[in-house]
């Protein structure tokens, strides 16, 4: 059965050209390219050809391009090598708040080794501001060794101002590493960047191939044990069939993408425009214009992301989510957090090249019922109900709603943490301790109608998503978010009813 796959940003199915090149190279490219005999020379020719093709697509010279075993390795080893190469210049690392986790992990390792790290913030669209890198370099505690910026965000599709950031870094004499994993299929990365990484399985190439480009003149000191292969930058026996398939498919995908980009952009625009009309209480996130053509992300209020993914999967659609309940770590995606947008019921749709229009239409046809079903099972309020107390407390069985000053709301909500001294105005306290996303927001929505306009609701919650989703809910509903305070258990989030 054909099933539409809408998670190209995680991994793309193998492109036919990749498959063909891989098959051919399996018979020709298995030998050690360092050997002098014919099988080795043949392998070397294939490796050289792959490097030339991939370098051409990236826009560097072949001797500036290294094949690594994955995009993650390219990032880990690229960042470590660039930091070590400039150790004498400084030990400060700058990256945006919405980089791939591989960058964050490399930064954490750098910090653990005594380096310093600063994050460049993004706006609500997930975009770094022009001038932000220049500002971060000026604000650095010491000379900056390296700056990192993705070409486009992997969760919300927002394109970053890479050329501008590269110019700001060049001005300060700091190399910029660009993570081009999400955008390389759609074209080379513009600007005067110093290093670039990518991952072949994102563009329909095989698993097991990453790219690391280091432009001439950039100081680079590979870390870890020495190895003679790939200019000493990527240890281990070369995976020639895979790199050949990666290079061949990148070229093929580029050609198709040139023709496909506009069509996919239109399909994504359709999703961006119609999902909020079809499904109530949805926030579409990411920059609407400066974005990848094929990727769109939205979040659905009062929805459990894991249940939503499960139901979409049952309906035949494979998508991913940045909601906390789907991450295994119980924290929402750091990208959504940095943007300050709703994380519950989060769905990322990333269309592979060639996605049929009717599949997108079918997704739009199916989505409203799927969301309605998940909301119904969670006892989420209908929009009209929110202003009434009709269903308050009926959903999750034990929602701990109590009236009166927060200070008297029982042991879980007691103490000055939830309501300070003198804060004696009438308010409601919702005890959502121990409850996971989206329950705290659902319980808040159910009781907001019980306080008068101008009245206060305090939600006690220990789920990490509440920190993001309660303010986001306030912004969507027009209520005033008055901030959080530590409570005896968890955190007290204060919301003032405005309408």
* Residues between 146 and 205 with contacts to a second copy, criterion CB under 8 A: 199, 201
Which of 24, 40, 97, 119 contacts a second copy by CB under 8 A? Answer: 40
x/- map, 434-473, a second copy, by CB under 8 A: ----------------------------------------
Span between the terminal Cα atoms of the chain, in Å: 49
Could you tell me whether strands 210-214 and 282-285 are parallel, antiparallel, or unpaired per DSSP bridges? Answer: unpaired
Tokens of 124: 């609500």
Distance CA 302, CA 123 (A): 24
DSSP 75-104: HHHHHHHHHHHTTTT--EEEEETT--HHHH
- Residue 138 binds to a second copy (criterion: CB under 8 A): no
Cis peptide before 438 (omega within 30 of 0): yes
The alpha helices in 282-438, defined as continuous H runs, are 305-314, 334-339, 357-378
Q: How far is the CB of 123 from a second copy (least distance, A)?
A: 27
Catalytic residue among 169, 300, 325, 437: 325
| Residue 299 DSSP label | E
- The site that binds a second copy (CB under 8 A) totals a number of residues, namely 65
Tokens of 254: 């580029």
> Taking CA 183 as the corner, what is the angle to CA 265 and CA 292, rounded to the nearest 5 degrees?
25
Could you tell me whether strands 456-461 and 491-496 are parallel, antiparallel, or unpaired per DSSP bridges? Answer: antiparallel
Which of 52, 227, 385, 450 contacts a second copy by CB under 8 A? Answer: 227
To the query of whether residue 437 is one of the catalytic residues in this protein, the response is no
Contact 355, 364 (CB under 8 A): no
Which of 17, 44, 54, 73 contacts a second copy by CB under 8 A? Answer: 73
Cβ proximity to a second copy, 239 vs 458, nearer residue: 239
Stretch of 56-64, 119-127, 231-239, 350-358 contacting a second copy, by CB under 8 A: 231-239
Contact 363, 7 (CB under 8 A): no
Question: Quick one: how far is CA 108 from the chain centroid?
Answer: 18
Which of 126, 161, 208, 293 contacts a second copy by CB under 8 A? Answer: 208
* Residues between 7 and 26 with contacts to a second copy, criterion CB under 8 A: 7, 10-14, 19, 22-23, 26
Backbone angles phi, psi at 491, to 5 degrees: -130, 145
x/- map, 302-331, a second copy, by CB under 8 A: ----x--xx-xx---xxxx-----x-x---
Q: How far is the CB of 318 from a second copy (least distance, A)?
A: 4
Which of 150, 182, 197, 239 contacts a second copy by CB under 8 A? Answer: 239
Active site residues: 325
Q: Which residues lie near a second copy (CB under 8 A)?
A: 3, 5, 7, 10-14, 19, 22-23, 26-27, 30-32, 34-40, 69-73, 76, 80, 102, 105-106, 108-109, 199, 201, 206-208, 210, 224-228, 235-242, 306, 309-310, 312-313, 317-320, 326, 328
């Amino acid at each position: 059965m054909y099933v539409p796959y809408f998670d190209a940003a995680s991994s793309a199915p193998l492109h036919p050209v990749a498959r063909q090149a891989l098959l051919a190279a399996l018979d020709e490219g298995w030998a050690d390219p360092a050997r002098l005999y014919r099988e080795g020379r043949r392998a070397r020719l294939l490796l050289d050809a792959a490097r030339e093709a991939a370098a051409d697509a990236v826009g560097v010279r072949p001797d500036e391009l290294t094949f690594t075993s994955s995009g993650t390795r390219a990032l880990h080893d690229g960042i470590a090598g660039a930091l070590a190469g400039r150790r004498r210049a400084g030990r400060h690392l700058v990256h945006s708040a919405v980089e791939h986790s591989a960058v964050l992990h490399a930064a954490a390792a750098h910090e653990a080794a005594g380096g310093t790290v600063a994050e460049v913030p993004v706006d609500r669209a997930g975009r770094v501001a022009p001038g932000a890198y220049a500002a971060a370099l000026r604000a650095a505690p010491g000379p900056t060794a390296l700056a990192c910026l993705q070409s486009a965000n992997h969760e919300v599709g927002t394109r970053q101002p890479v050329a501008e950031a590269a110019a700001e870094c060049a001005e300060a004499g700091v190399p910029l590493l660009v993570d081009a994993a999400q955008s390389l299929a759609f074209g080379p990365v513009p600007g005067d960047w110093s290093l670039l990484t990518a991952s072949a399985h994102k563009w329909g190439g095989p698993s097991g191939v990453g790219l690391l480009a280091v432009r001439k003149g950039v100081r680079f000191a590979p870390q870890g044990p020495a190895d003679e292969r790939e200019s000493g930058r990527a240890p281990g026996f070369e995976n020639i069939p895979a790199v050949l398939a990666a290079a061949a498919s990148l070229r093929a995908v580029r050609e198709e993408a040139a023709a496909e980009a506009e069509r996919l952009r239109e399909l994504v625009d359709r999703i961006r425009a119609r999902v909020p009309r079809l499904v109530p209480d949805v926030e579409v996130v990411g920059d609407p214009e400066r974005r990848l053509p094929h990727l769109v992300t939205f979040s659905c209020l009062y929805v459990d992301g894991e249940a939503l993914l499960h139901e979409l999967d049952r309906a035949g659609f494979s998508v991913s989510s940045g909601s906390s309940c789907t991450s295994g770590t119980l924290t929402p995606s750091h990208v959504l957090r940095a943007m300050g947008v709703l994380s519950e019921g989060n769905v990322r749709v990333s269309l592979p090249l060639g996605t049929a229009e009717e599949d997108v239409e079918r997704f739009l046809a199916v989505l409203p019922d799927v969301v309605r079903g998940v909301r119904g099972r969670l006892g989420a309020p209908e929009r009209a109900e929110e202003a009434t107390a009709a269903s308050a407390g009926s959903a999750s069985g034990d929602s701990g709603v109590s009236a009166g000053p927060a200070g008297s709301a029982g042991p879980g909500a007691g103490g000055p943490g939830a309501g300070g001294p003198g804060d004696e105005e009438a308010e409601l306290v919702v005890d959502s301790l121990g409850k996971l996303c989206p329950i705290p927001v659902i319980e808040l929505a159910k009781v907001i109608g019980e306080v008068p306009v101008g009245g206060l609701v305090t939600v006690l919650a220990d789920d990490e998503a509440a920190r993001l989703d309660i303010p986001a809910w306030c912004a969507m509903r027009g209520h005033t978010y008055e901030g959080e305070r530590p409570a005896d258990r968890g955190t007290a989030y204060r919301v003032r009813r405005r309408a």
